[in-house]
Amino acid sequence: MSSKENDSGDTDIIHPLVKSKKVFVYQPKVRVDLTREVETLKFRFDNAFAEDASNEDIYNQTCKTLIPNVFDGSFSSVFAYGQTGSGKTFTMMGSNFTAGGCKGMHMSFAMNFYFYNGFNDMFAFI
């Protein structure tokens, strides 16, 4: 949540359960009789990450394992989906604007791709 949302007393309605790869969304509702309730929506994913997960954490758990498959002739793609402003571009591209910069998925994949390819080529002649 943003500092503005925290200051105004808003409640975080997204609760990731990282180990079980689930995300709970708490949706406030008002019934026809005007009673208030909170509906809990449960979603299960291949991976779930908390707010404090780094781009490196996300890359290591989602993309890194794709590289050997590419060299074996498979196709791989990464699909980023989410609400506007949720961090898709930052996660994929990283940022050179933050202190020390932050690698995104593209740079991490490229670095590992060339390392993996060079590593395999080095041992191909032995």
Q: How confident is the model at residue 18 (pLDDT cuts 50, 70, 90)?
A: confident
pLDDT digits (tens, 9 = 90+) for 58-80: 888 888 888 888 778 888 887 77
Task: Please list, residue by residue across 87-96, b when 16 or more beta carbons sit within 10 angstroms of its beta carbon and e when fewer do.
Answer: eeeebbebee
Instruction: For residues 90 and 55, give the distance between their C-alpha atoms in angstroms, rounded to a whole number.
Output: 9
Nearby residues of 18 by Cβ (< 8 Å), 6 or more positions away:
48, 49, 50
For residues 119 and 113, what is the distance between their CA atoms, to the nearest angstrom? Answer: 10
- State how far the Cα of 55 lies from the Cα of 106, in Å rounded to an integer: 11
Q: How far apart are the first and last CA of the chain?
A: 54
* pLDDT tens-digit map of 79-116: 777 788 877 777 777 776 555 566 777 677 777 776 66
Task: Tell me what pLDDT residue 125 has.
Answer: 43
